[in-house]
Amino acid sequence: MATLRLPLVRYPSVLFPGSAVTLSSSPLAAAISAALRYDSRIAVLGPVGRIAVELRLVCDQHLSDKPSGVVHGLTGDRRRLHSLAEGGEGGASISNFEPVDDDPMLSPAREERVHDEAQRARDLLERGVEQRAFSLEPSHLDDELGLGPLCDPRRRPSDFWLAGRLPLATSLRASCLASTCPLKRLCEVNDAMRLLLCNDPARFRHRLRLQVETPASDGCHGIGIGGSATPRTIVAEAPPSYAWVADNSFPHG
């Protein structure tokens, strides 16, 4: 399999294909400089896993009122980190990547299920926004870059678009990014929306769970950090279940 060399950037969150993003330029200075020799492209790798997304940097003239200290880009294809190339260029880490493609030739039955899940995604999205269970707003760059209609899942559902906008835990986002089955990805994001809308979370406890992130209430409160913030509910993977064979058994032996 052919490999591709790109500057590598580690990022604290998982990005998905088909999104317009704005990142702080300070940590990316070396990679941005190196990207000029790679057709303005870098590979952004999240905190877990080996699947990155290709980010094409957008020239300033394509955007209006670009603030200083940030860089804009469009996320593209997925890339699997193959190996670190020897040496760097201008302080940037140059790495070898392999393409990541979806499984080929879905059966007619699975194609029909993908269509059905896409329709369910539209319905769940409408319900979620109406009930304020979650909010999915297009990026402010979508219109400027001509992506508006394509980035609205109510018109064209996208598993990656939804995964990038729903409040998912990092491990769940990484799992969705690495999946090569479109049906599995749609089912995952649909179940996440169902869980956020559901009054009975126990229905999903074998796979997913709601996790509440509470702002710090320690010394940060006194300096105005986290004091007025509200708890945030995210969807995370359920912990592994164990088979208990006796009352005094222990799952790890």
- pLDDT value at residue 221: 45
State the DSSP code for 149. G
Q: Please give the structure tokens belonging to residue 12.
A: 């604290």
The label of the residue with tokens 């980010």 reads: 55
pLDDT, position 232:
78
d(CA 10, CA 46): 6
Q: What is the DSSP string of 2-43?
A: --EEEEEEE-SS---SS-EEEEESGGGHHHHHHHTTTTTEEE
Q: Is 211 helix (H, G, I), strand (E, B) or coil?
A: strand
- Residue by residue, DSSP assigns 46-91 as -SSSSEEEEEEEPPGGGSSSPPTTEEEEEEEEEEEEEEEEEEEETT
Any residues with CB less than 8 A from the CB of 166 and at least 6 apart, and which? 134, 136, 189, 192, 193, 196, 235
Q: Decide which of 2.30.130.40, 3.40.605.10, 3.30.70.1560, 2.60.40.10 is the CATH code for 4-99.
A: 2.30.130.40
pLDDT tens-digit profile of 51-106? 999 999 886 544 445 556 778 889 999 999 998 766 566 567 889 999 999 988 77
| pLDDT recorded at residue 141 | 45
- Type of residue numbered 131: Q
pLDDT value, residue 86:
60
Query: Residue 215 is which amino acid?
Result: P
Domain borders along the chain are 4-99, 108-202
Write out residues in the chain with pLDDT < 50, as ranges: 61-64, 139-151, 153-156, 217-227, 243-244, 249-253
Q: What is the reported pLDDT for 60?
A: 53
